[in-house]
Amino acid sequence: MPLFSSAPESLCILRLSAIGDVCNAVSVVQAIQKQWPNTKITWVMGKMEAQLLSDLPNVNVLVFDKNRGIKAYFELWRALKGKRFDALLHLQTALRASIVSLGIKAKYKLGFDAQRSSDMQSFFINHKVPSPKSAHVLDGFKAFILELGIEDEPLQWHIPISRQDQQWALTKVNNKATVVVVPGASKAYKNWTAQGYAQVIDHLVKKGFQVILAGSPAEVEIDLAEKVVKHCPVNMINLVGKSSLKQMLALLKESKLVIAPDTGPAHMAVAVNTPVIGLYAHHNPLRTGPYLYRDYVVSAYQQAIEAETGKKLSDLSWRARVKDPQAMQRIKVCDVVNMVDKAVTDFSL
């Protein structure tokens, strides 16, 4: 039986980070809004994530800035003082998030069941949400709203983009068929090789696409982008570290295709309905891949995890992570090129 037979008055969403996960969570929040338009929603999220999502329609965003240390908890709890929600959707198992939840008053505090829970989350909730059969993070989130009483419908996203940010992106695309390549993730072990990207970009340019590199100002991403440019015989536009999150979202929306490793912009692309080719080796793409485009993932995960553990994938937990820092080098250029060609055909790019 669902928890609510009619729309509750108020709900609180707790998902602090990271960019990819909060982008996934947007779809379940907006599924609630579609079916229960009068339910007031408060979302507690991280400072960086709020740069992307603070203007979500009809969502009261409260920012938790972890960089402020213990002060961040007290500041947030003061902002929540006197508020009581019908339910809290505790979508993050990290202990930091659970401590945050201590200041959130709610009749029901929903969290993950034993299959997905970790970091003692079960001590901070009073209602466990049954895990779905699908391993994907977003399907785990979706299980929360089904437990509330939301009907099971295809998920959709709407993240506002200002006219100014849209114009910035249009200027960069400049009426050309554009592929955005996000070469780097914040963690270097998730990154493919500069030489590999250079060969794929060469293939894209020969097919008539303009290529734009995008990414955050993190040093690891800037360094990798510079190496890609150095190794590539064709021209591209390097915007790594030169855009805001909103500008990047607009750029992804205006592009024909995105190529990225296991990082936030892959999920941002899903949110603006741009096809994504994901490059994976460390995490199971069935769990963390770009939700609408999992059929377009180039994955060395199975090969790497079986080599590392000596076990078949079917005998391992769906959460098993490859530890080999060189695992991404198992991805072959020819496999990425073939996936590019498949995407170009399938999406009539």
* CA–CA distance, 135 with 140 (Å, rounded to integer): 7
Sign of the alpha-carbon dihedral angle for 132, 134, 136, 138: negative
For each of the chain's 349 residues, which pLDDT tens digit applies?
Answer: 899 999 999 999 999 999 999 999 999 999 999 999 999 999 999 999 999 999 999 999 999 999 999 999 999 999 999 999 999 999 999 999 999 999 999 999 999 999 999 999 999 999 999 999 999 999 999 999 999 999 999 999 999 999 999 999 999 999 999 999 999 998 999 999 999 999 999 999 999 999 999 999 999 999 999 999 999 999 999 999 999 999 999 999 999 999 999 999 999 999 999 999 999 999 999 999 999 999 999 999 999 999 999 999 999 988 899 999 999 999 999 999 999 999 999 999 9
* CA–CA distance, 11 with 206 (Å, rounded to integer): 51
Ramachandran bin of 284, using left for φ above 0, alpha for ψ from -120 to 50, beta for the remaining angles: beta
* CA–CA distance, 8 with 255 (Å, rounded to integer): 39
Q: Which residues are registered as beta bridge partners of 61? A: 43
Indicate the class that CATH gives domain 163-346. Answer: alpha beta
**Residue 138 near residue 266 (C-beta atoms within 8 A):** no
Residues in the chain: 349
Indicate the class that CATH gives domain 10-148. Answer: alpha beta
Q: Are strands 298-299 and 276-280 parallel, antiparallel or unpaired?
A: parallel
What DSSP letter does each residue of 140-163 carry, written as one string?
Answer: HHHHHHHHHT-------------H
Domain with CATH 3.40.50.2000 in the chain: 10-148, 163-346
